[in-house]
Structures are given as structure tokens and as C-alpha cells.
Amino acid sequence: MKPHSAGPSPVIELRDATKSYPGGVHALRAVNLTVHAGELLAVVGPSGSGKSTMLNVMGTLDKPTTGTVEVAGYDVSALSDARLSALRARHIGFVFQHFHLAPGRDAVDNVADGLLYAGVPPKGRRRRAREALARVRLAHRASHTPDQLSGGEKQRVAIARALVGAPGLLLADEPTGALDTASGAIVMELLHELNASGTTVCVITHDHEIADALPRRVRFKDGEIVSDTRCTEPTATTEEVTP
């Protein structure tokens, strides 16, 4: 399986991507978005704006009705289900609002589950899971089950699970939505640290305060990108990015 073109490729690129459903519902309308390696951005908008559909399309969990989606240079529409699953496992990590941790399994096993489809032997999965937990500052909670963890700790375990396969892109869907303010701040600090170490991070959120604290903000409304701005300086100065 090779990318369709030579040379460096964006981590993800959407070109005129649409997603329509029966009854004339248009969740995405000709969306153009390019995310390059090392970016930290927010996709922000109110409920019903198309953010969740955008997440599913960016994460290859769903295919667009029309248009093109490329991940690491691969045209998603040209891949079989098996190759698409392999691409997703290798290049994309997911963090969800409600953690999706397996009850009764400790943090190491929950993180190791992120490598189930990567062909890594069980012993290697657990070793890499411990390393990922250390990255999110939870090595001391490795033997704890979800019911023994706080909300913020559960989200950090979920982030470790998303990172254990070293994906090029981390998609975080409302990562602070189920957390109190202090725990949410810790999670966002961690996402900033991971980005600084080289991980490309996209945060999907309705929270404009969270979005405004990130270097790039892609604002959604009614299935369309209405603005795409990024900071040019450490201050609040922004510039428009051509979709």
C-alpha cells in the first residue's frame, strides 16, 4: 500500500468533502482542510454544526459522500476495509469524552488494548503501555482499574491508549467535556506537551475558551468552515488561513 503521490504529504487533507444523509441532511458541505505534521488545532462549533461528522471523516470512521479525504497521503476511498483499518491503527489515535475504558481491567491492560491490531505480542504491548502511561504521568497508577481512577486520570489513560501506537495524528473529541475545570486544565496541558514533543493534535470542541487557547482554530457552522485562523505571535494576533 503506497500513497498516490511522491513527496511529503500533510497528516490529513480534505478536499471538497461532503457528507449527506437521507432526507436532505447535509452534515458537511464542501469542506477543505489541510493539517500538517506538528500542528495543534481546534475544530470548534456549537452542537449540530457538523463537528462530530468532521471527526468521523477525519478519523476514517466514516467516508464522505463526495470529495476526497487523504490520511498520510493515502486516498481513503481507494482502500479496502482491511487496509483502511490498518491505516487507522497506524496513523490515528482517538480520545473520546467518556474515556471508553474497559471496566475491571487495569490501566496497563486498557492502554495495551490500543495495540491489539498492530501485531505486537502481548508482552511487548504491556511494556509499551507502561511507557505510554509514564508519558502521561500515570506510571504510579498502572495497576489501578477505572473505578479506582479520577475522571482526569481516566482521560489520561485514554490519551496513553491513543498514543501507544505512535500515531501521526491524535483526534481528541471533547477531551475535557466530562471533567471538572482543574482536571480539564491538566488534560489540556498534557495535550500541549505531547504536541511540543512532535504529536499532531486536533481537538474537537464546543468550548471557545479551549479553542482560543490553541494556535489554530477552525470554526464550524452548519457543516461549513466559516473561519480558519492561527496565531502569528504568542499574543492574540491571528491571521486567516485559506481553507
Q: Give the pLDDT confidence score for residue 3 in this predicted structure.
A: 47
Q: Give the pLDDT confidence score for residue 230 in this predicted structure.
A: 87
State the virtual CA torsion across 128, 132, 135, 141 in degrees, nearest 10. Answer: -110
pLDDT at position 5 over 70: no
Task: Write the pLDDT tens digit of every residue in 120-167.
Answer: 888 899 999 999 999 999 999 999 999 999 999 999 999 999 999 999
- Whether 55 contacts 78, CB under 8 Å: no
CA-CA distance, 178 to 57, in Å (whole number)?
A: 23
In a domain, 31, yes or no: no
- Give how many domains the chain has, as a whole number: 1
Position 117 confidence tier, pLDDT thresholds 50, 70, 90: confident
Task: Write the pLDDT tens digit of every residue in 10-61.
Answer: 999 999 999 999 888 899 999 999 999 999 999 999 988 889 899 999 999 9
Q: Give the pLDDT confidence score for residue 240 in this predicted structure.
A: 55
Predicted TM-score of the model (pTM): 0.88
Angle at CA of residue 55, ends 135 and 159, nearest 5°: 15
**Residue 111, SS3?**
helix
CATH number of the domain that residue 208 is part of: 3.40.50.300
In a domain, 25, yes or no: no
| Domain membership of residue 110 as a residue range | 38-56+81-240
Cα distances (angstroms) measured from residue 38 to each of 121, 199, 232: 30, 6, 16
Range from 4-13, 194-203, 228-237 carrying the lowest mean pLDDT: 228-237
In a domain, 107, yes or no: yes
State the virtual CA torsion across 157, 163, 89, 33 in degrees, nearest 10. Answer: 110
In a domain, 76, yes or no: no
Task: Write the pLDDT tens digit of every residue in 163-196.
Answer: 999 998 999 999 999 899 999 999 999 999 999 9
